[in-house]
Amino acid sequence: MELKGVYPAMVTALTPDEEIDRAGMQRVVKYCLDAGVHGVVVLGSTGEFPAMTDA
């Protein structure tokens, strides 16, 4: 597999009660793809993942 192009690290969109904002995430991904990125990186280096729980 050869990765080329732009792959931004995504932030995790959250609601005010700290639930994942699925609609917000879809808007951000669509915005990035419409801007011409080649893919996105989720659960990477943006820092939200360690603070999340299974609840």
User: What is d(CA 9, CA 22) in angstroms, rounded to the nearest whole number?
Assistant: 17
User: From the CA atom positions of the chain, what is the Rg in Å?
Assistant: 13
pTM score over 0.75: no
H or E element in which residue 30 lies: helix 22-34
CA angle 11, 33, 36 (to 5 degrees): 120
Q: Which residues pair with 14 in a beta bridge?
A: 20
Q: What is the pLDDT along the chain (55 residues), one digit of tens a residue?
A: 888 999 998 888 888 988 889 999 999 999 999 999 999 988 776 666 666 667 6
19: left (phi over 0), alpha (psi -120 to 50) or beta: beta
Where are the domains positioned within the chain? 1-55
